Structure 1
């Protein structure tokens, strides 16, 4: 082994650079004056009202259904804090207006505001009065925040009731601080404890120096026996889509078999839930962020800019009914939209030749990407119009017409449709094919199949791209990046065995790009 190899020289140079950076950090901490800063961050941005999902159950709030102007009601919790090293006084705000800061809630209207403060800061609340400029215009999207004096580490929170826009719309805090700044932050400190910058900086310096020296020692004296080409060791959690989970489990098994030392856990929680879990890693270490991949049926509307999508495969989905319901000609898209709008309560209302059975809609929950693709492509962007009437579509106790329930996984939907006469649901194609006691329904005369979506100019309408989301771009040498490369290079056979079209195949590349 050559001690002066290029790899070892780079490692030692990195160690030296780390020590120098540590020394500069200590000098800066002790010698350079710190600026005044006000930081802010959104700690909650949640929808409220009917059909708001809470865990695995459907919570039906109903509080704002009849209130004027409360369409798409949301609650936002905004934390504003002095995260600098100096106190901020009344005269430090540079606004020409009476108030000091302005919170802007893009595309939403303010309906109510409440201010909270941590224990020991009772003096803060006295500033939140109209005489100090605090308030908002009813129906407007800007909140005027007074010139609140804040000692180092102090904060307050503003709970805002909004309407007229979805969660995730841009929220900004505008204003100026003399000799300082107002900025979004990502503080990972406990909620009511101010960060101790000086001690933390020294601790980080020591840890950085020790880590870099250790890395240098390991690289110089380690065994150079190379692992298999492209393989990485470590642990990886793959979450998200229940429909695509069987494919991911098979891909993970193949990777673990080829790459010793890798441990990939597949936890299917639903597409949106998986993407939300990945997005929640904001503020965590890069290694923590790189330890998870979330699969989503179709493009996620809640991914934000911090998550990176990777198109993996084109998935075919199918509408299915209990096999006691005979629909030899299938359904038109117009028929399906009438059924899911609640316009058809009994099957013979759709066709006199059908039995007088109640329509039973077995749906996925709001976190489902399969449901999102169904609404976008089959219902032409509309939501399923029938409200949920029961937890499990028990037609013995639920006398509604039509009946509708929401379940947490594709497997549960298929099992329930297979049990109940008159039931209809939707599923990924391969899982639907394997389930007994149900029939796939042709749509506009086309039967669900991989071949059907390749037809031109009128392909089968119910399909979508399966995306793998990572936090930013996968780091070089990470298990997440290696696993995605493995899927693109070696996973085509596994993907095709589950009736999906790989996006890396020539025909798949065209279809995935056209569908994106």
Structure 2
């Protein structure tokens, strides 16, 4: 059996990251104690840096000026992937010292712990603590417990020993050991790698080379790579719900990017309401007249809730649970209404917000045009099947600010703009669009906000099933069928969630998404 270069590259592409992971997380990831010398300087080194630095040379110890003072700052750290506890230090249990630091040619004048991770208890470093002391030319540190990446810093003030004549001091000698640590467990001088250790970086560089090689072979061997399983060629026409339009616009854009032979043309008027979308789909089917048993493969309509009777060839496919909310102008002075108060407002029995403990402002109802799924859901789920009151003005700009009234608009965006600019206005919207605004307030109903949990418990009434309709059964290889599968796949579900809806497949109670609509309102 012969292996292609692409197969060899694929095997290497798998082997290299596995080797890197084994090194970093199994071998190098064991207990590792490290230190860094972050500062080692003599006072004479800084004497020429300014007129005020000579004060540093007048440092004293026991009343005597230091001969050649110097300062060392060391960082002690857990550089591995496992915690270091007191029992891990290579030292007799009776010996409280875990780390010893010697300074050849220098004696220790003073020391202090200047910084420590929040997880490192300060009790390790209080004066008189066991294992924490200085003796001549050595600093002793206790068996400090260090979680992964925890550290502390030790600042030492030193002076040249008599008889030491070398111009430069040797580096500090740090002695410690960890049971079961890397390379015998001895403490090692570490360097800061913002990404990974040197060995792992070499392995990852090799991985990049292997991946580039594999990509080159793949491109050379197959210019026309197979599209994902749910990709289909052709043009798909979408229509329907304005509330679900943000999901569909984003999903269409991503689908076209994933499937190069697919086109989903959308315009500003593609989504004009649920009923309009169903009418458009039914009309396209009537014009095409596909035979029984076959459906249109290039059209989908999306509706906030079930279709009306009289459309026998439109087939439902539940997609998501959509939450809706009542929105109000800020000067109404209300944020919570009982279901009875909401019904009284839409029945005309409450005409001023002061009647429901709000401000003295007339109620102005701003509603969607007939055919809107958001409006239909309001009537069926919240108002108990009662229709909205009569329109008092055909243009919302003509509402009399001094008396109650009602007007209608075409889309969700226009409705939110109108509510935000009309004192006393009350409207309705899908939750995602309302939540993105800071110039309107969402209304709780009986104390419940618009949440999935409230809908699940039957406490929040204003929600509906978002349903995709096809004309007949679309062919399995059609773009309509492919797009529906895409919405139910991981990327599609991510898009649905990102716009404030919940995919039907993720509900604790999937029956909430049944195509015959939600249960009757209270």
Task: Calculate the TM-score normalised by the size of structure 1.
Answer: 0.53
What's the offset of the Cα at 1:306? Answer: 0.9
8 Å contact from structure 1 (residues 272, 302) kept in 2: no
What's the offset of the Cα at 1:476? Answer: 2.0
What's the offset of the Cα at 1:247? Answer: 0.7
Q: Are 2:367 and 1:363 equivalent residues in the alignment?
A: yes
8 Å contact from structure 2 (residues 322, 464) kept in 1: yes
Match of residue 398 from structure 1:
400
Match of residue 485 from structure 1:
485
RMSD across aligned positions (CA): 2.2
Match of residue 317 from structure 1:
324
Whole-Å separation in 2 of the counterparts to 1:388 and 1:232: 46
Q: How many residues align?
A: 287
Whole-Å separation in 1 of the counterparts to 2:446 and 2:507: 27
Match of residue 218 from structure 1:
none
8 Å contact from structure 2 (residues 381, 462) kept in 1: yes
What's the offset of the Cα at 1:324? Answer: 1.8
8 Å contact from structure 1 (residues 502, 508) kept in 2: no
8 Å contact from structure 2 (residues 296, 473) kept in 1: no
8 Å contact from structure 1 (residues 501, 508) kept in 2: no
What's the offset of the Cα at 1:238? Answer: 0.7
Whole-Å separation in 2 of the counterparts to 1:342 and 1:400: 16
Q: Deviations over 1:82-131 (max 9, x none)?
A: xxxxxxxxxxxxxxxxxxxxxxxxxxxxxxxxxxxxxxxxxxxxxxxxxx
What's the offset of the Cα at 1:230? Answer: 2.1
Q: Are 2:503 and 1:502 equivalent residues in the alignment?
A: yes
What's the offset of the Cα at 1:291? Answer: 1.8
Whole-Å separation in 1 of the counterparts to 2:461 and 2:259: 39
What's the offset of the Cα at 1:492? Answer: 1.1
Whole-Å separation in 2 of the counterparts to 1:449 and 1:419: 26
Q: Deviations over 1:349-395 (max 9, x none)?
A: x23x43322110000011101101111100011101x2111233235
Match of residue 240 from structure 1:
240
Match of residue 339 from structure 2:
333
Whole-Å separation in 1 of the counterparts to 2:404 and 2:246: 32
Match of residue 413 from structure 2:
411
Where 1:280 maps in the other structure, the secondary structure is helix
Whole-Å separation in 1 of the counterparts to 2:310 and 2:475: 19
Match of residue 111 from structure 2:
none
Where 1:356 maps in the other structure, the secondary structure is coil
What's the offset of the Cα at 1:269? Answer: 1.2
Whole-Å separation in 2 of the counterparts to 1:480 and 1:355: 50
Whole-Å separation in 1 of the counterparts to 2:509 and 2:245: 20
Structure 1 residues 448, 506: CA separation in 2 closer, same or farther (over 3 Å shift)? closer
Match of residue 170 from structure 1:
none
Aligned with 1:373 (options 377, 383, 386): 377
Where 2:288 maps in the other structure, the secondary structure is coil
8 Å contact from structure 1 (residues 240, 270) kept in 2: yes
What's the offset of the Cα at 1:242? Answer: 0.4
What's the offset of the Cα at 1:398? Answer: 3.4
Match of residue 151 from structure 1:
none
Q: Are 2:456 and 1:450 equivalent residues in the alignment?
A: no
Whole-Å separation in 2 of the counterparts to 1:347 and 1:459: 24
Whole-Å separation in 2 of the counterparts to 1:459 and 1:260: 45
8 Å contact from structure 2 (residues 319, 465) kept in 1: yes
Q: Which runs of 5+ in 2 are unaligned?
A: 1-222
Match of residue 306 from structure 1:
313
Match of residue 121 from structure 1:
none
Match runs of 1:143-162 below 5 Å = none
Where 2:238 maps in the other structure, the secondary structure is strand
Structure 1 residues 484, 495: CA separation in 2 closer, same or farther (over 3 Å shift)? same
What's the offset of the Cα at 1:280? Answer: 0.8
Whole-Å separation in 2 of the counterparts to 1:248 and 1:318: 20
Q: Are 2:272 and 1:269 equivalent residues in the alignment?
A: yes
Match of residue 431 from structure 1:
433
Q: Deviations over 1:292-351 (max 9, x none)?
A: 1111001121561010111000000000101122214x1111111111111222222x23
Whole-Å separation in 1 of the counterparts to 2:437 and 2:296: 36
Whole-Å separation in 2 of the counterparts to 1:251 and 1:368: 22
8 Å contact from structure 1 (residues 239, 274) kept in 2: yes
Whole-Å separation in 1 of the counterparts to 2:230 and 2:431: 32
Match runs of 1:81-230 below 5 Å = 226-230=226-230
What's the offset of the Cα at 1:226? Answer: 4.3
Where 2:281 maps in the other structure, the secondary structure is helix
Where 2:331 maps in the other structure, the secondary structure is coil
Q: Which runs of 5+ in 1 are unaligned?
A: 1-222
Whole-Å separation in 2 of the counterparts to 1:245 and 1:299: 17
Match runs of 1:2-41 below 5 Å = none
8 Å contact from structure 1 (residues 347, 356) kept in 2: yes
Match runs of 1:44-63 below 5 Å = none
Match of residue 99 from structure 1:
none
Match of residue 22 from structure 1:
none
Whole-Å separation in 2 of the counterparts to 1:345 and 1:301: 32
Structure 1 residues 399, 506: CA separation in 2 closer, same or farther (over 3 Å shift)? closer
Match of residue 473 from structure 1:
473
What's the offset of the Cα at 1:399? Answer: 6.7
Match of residue 347 from structure 1:
353
Whole-Å separation in 2 of the counterparts to 1:269 and 1:502: 23
8 Å contact from structure 1 (residues 370, 428) kept in 2: yes
